[in-house]
Amino acid sequence: MVSAKVSSSAVLAAVALSLLAVPAQAAPTEAGAETRTAAAALPAPDTAGMAAVLDSVVAKGAPGALARIDDGTRVYRTTHGVADRSTGRAITTGDRFRVGSVTKTFSAVVLLQLADEGRLALDAPVNRYLPGLLPDDRITVRHVLGHRSGLYDYTDDMFANSVSGFESVRNKVFTYRQLVDLSLQKPRTNAPGAAYSYSNTNFVVAGMLIEKITGHGVRAEYEDRIFKPLGLRDTFYLHPDTKIPGQHAHGYLTADEAGARPVDATDQTVSWAQSAGAIISTARDLDTFYSALLRGRLTSASGLAEMERFTRVNATTSYGLGLRRRELSCGISVYGHTGAVQGYYTYAFTTADGRRSLTALANASNNSAVLNTLAETLEPAFCGKRAAPTTARTGTPVEREDIAPAAPREQ
């Protein structure tokens, strides 16, 4: 059953952060200055179109799907399907879920705040802060945050077989160093700064940097710098606990063998990802987070400009520092991140002025048809009725590099 409704939302309170501005630094990427398109100038969201997209997501294999759009004065909620296959409970936009690689933006924000405070230099070698960690002193903090380090993604091997790979690490606890060592067993993909190559290893290094510079675990830094100031009441970093607290959507990993039952992957340590993908949140909290970020409430103006120095990834996507830019058919760009962790696909994006935000979730993974269709939520959310979805026609995963494992089984 599809539900679509509109409700009033409270205006997000301003967050007072004491941040020091730092000069912008050059990088061999696209300039980050963007035309700030006001959300008020956008067409109204196409709620019927959104409902149709979520219906298709479920038809292609996800037990449930949800979308929440917040334009500052109204909230649009659309859901379809179930949060739990065993009980049949309907999925809701208030359900908590694992956000996967959306975690990377949180990690990047903490490091940009540390740069604002003068405790970190983006163009300094990682080895300045973590002596001897990496085999090349040319790899900088900027390279890590922009996936330009060349560090091999250890998850490519870890999840070469989706289900067996997952079961082997479901309850395992890794140290950051163990994960980096897995990467360093393989040749690097490119010289530092030479090319974009998405790798979870980069944001494991980001977590190590946060902990070394602050002397605190990433959980404390997320909480003190982002969760608490923004009032993100349903956002957690619980590593290595395996349970999602409170009401949540179960996540289902599509089996490697066609016709086999999906695996309930809800309970896991996510220790294989940590600062690269272990945060739990809700659609409301992710809408709040990305809106605050793009409105300049989490970093200095120069810090946000650094995040928006983009490298082109494909025809519609560019990557900055822990931040994606997606160009839509109606000519606007939206900013955020995608996430994939066993059992969950997430899209979380906002306008350049942070005034309209979307979070969409499917509680399935290892299913490229679901992934491609979920991407279509961006069009009705930001372009309204004027544009027909096109992404699912490509036949390839839209955000393939976010996926664990790297190559989802075609459905």
For CA atoms 167, 151, 98, 76, the dihedral sign is negative
Strands ordered across the beta sheet of 64-70 = 2-8, 74-81, 64-70, 357-362, 344-351, 333-341, 324-327, 317-319, 311-312
Strand, coil or helix: what is 154?
Answer: coil
Contact 382, 356 (CB under 8 A): yes
Contact between 244 and 266 under an 8 Å Cβ cutoff? The reply is: yes
CA distances from 205 to 143, 209, 223 (A): 11, 6, 19
In this structure, what DSSP letter does residue 331 have?
S
Distance from C-alpha of 322 to C-alpha of 308, rounded to nearest angstrom:
9
At 271 the three-state DSSP class reads coil
Task: Label residue 249 exposed, middle or buried (CB < 10 Å: 0-12, 13-18, 19+).
Answer: buried
Between the CA of residue 246 and those of 231, 236, 243, 249, 250, what are the distances in Å?
A: 17, 11, 9, 10, 12
Q: Is 101 a catalytic residue?
A: yes
Look at residue 340 and give its three-state secondary structure: strand
**How far is CA 154 from its chain centroid?**
18
Six token digits for residue 332: 């606007």
Of 3, 86, 101, 183, catalytic:
101
CA atoms within 13 A on the CB side of 312: 4
How buried is residue 164: exposed, middle or buried, by Cβ count under 10 Å (0-12/13-18/19+)?
exposed
DSSP-assigned states of every residue in 193-219: TT-----HHHHHHHHHHHHHHHSS-HH
Which of 328, 403, 330, 324 lies closest to 368 in space, CA to CA? 403
Residues assigned a catalytic role: 101
